[in-house]
Amino acid sequence: MGMTCETVWRESSNYLDETLGPELRLAMDEHIQGCKKCASVIEGLRNIVTLYGDERMAELPAGFSQRLQRRLEANKLPTRRHFFGWAVAFAASVVAVGSFELLRHTASEKPEAVAPPHTRRPVPPDMQVVVAEGGAQFHRAACPLLSGRSNLRTVAAAEAIHEGLSPCPRCMTEYL
C-alpha cells in the first residue's frame, strides 16, 4: 500500500530524529524519492534543525558570565573561613553601640528628637537593573518606562548607583 503525503508530513519530525521503525522509514524513503513536495518538506525541516541547532544560535549576551559570577559572589553564605571576620565585625558593632548608649545617657542636655523610623530599604547592590542610554534612573527589566527605549544595558545596582543613577519611581518604589 502506498504511503500518503499526509503520513509523511505527520512522521517527518520522527523521520529526522531517526526514531521510526525500519519498515516505516523505508516506506517514507521510497515515497520521498518520487514526491517533490515531500522531499521539499523533509529537506526544509532538516535545514531548520541544522540552522537552529548551530551553537551560534545559543550565544549568551556579552558579559553574562561575569555579571553572574559577581552576583554569586555577593550571595555567598558565610562559611567557616568567613566566620571569624563576621565575629570581629559583630563585636565591633556591639562596642560601638554600647559606647553610643553610654554617651547618650551621660549627656545632661535635653534629649534629641527621635527620628521617625527609616522605612526605605537599600537597593541590594548585586541586584541586576536596567539602564537606558542617557537615562538618570535604573529600572527593573519589566518596567513599563523602558518600553520603546533603545540601547539598554543590564548592570548591578551598585554600579548604577556609582554612576549617579537613582531608582525608578515607577518600578522600584520600595527603594525610594
Q: Which residues would be at the binding site for another protein (CB under 8 A)?
A: 6, 9-10, 12-14, 16-17, 19, 37, 39-41, 43-45, 47-54, 56-61, 64-65, 67-69, 71-72, 75-77, 79-80, 128, 130, 140-142, 144, 146-147, 152, 154
Beta carbon nearer to another protein, 25 or 67: 67
Q: What backbone torsions phi and psi does residue 76 show, to the nearest 5 degrees? A: -65, 140
- Report which DSSP code applies to 18: T
Beta carbon nearer to another protein, 109 or 133: 133
Which strands, in side-by-side order, build the sheet including 166-167? 152-156, 128-132, 137-139, 166-167
Task: List helix spans (H) across the chain.
Answer: 5-16, 22-34, 36-53, 64-74, 80-106, 157-162
Beta carbon nearer to another protein, 128 or 137: 128
Q: In angstroms, rounded to a whole number, what is the distance separating the alpha carbons of residues 63 and 70?
A: 11
CB 60 to another protein: min, Å: 6
Beta carbon nearer to another protein, 77 or 115: 77
Whether the CB-CB separation of 121 and 173 falls below 8 Å is answered with no
Amino acid at 151: N
CB 78 to another protein: min, Å: 10
Q: In angstroms, rounded to a whole number, what is the distance separating the alpha carbons of residues 135 and 133?
A: 5
CB 109 to another protein: min, Å: 48
Neighbours of 102 (CB within 10 A): 10
Beta carbon nearer to another protein, 27 or 70: 70
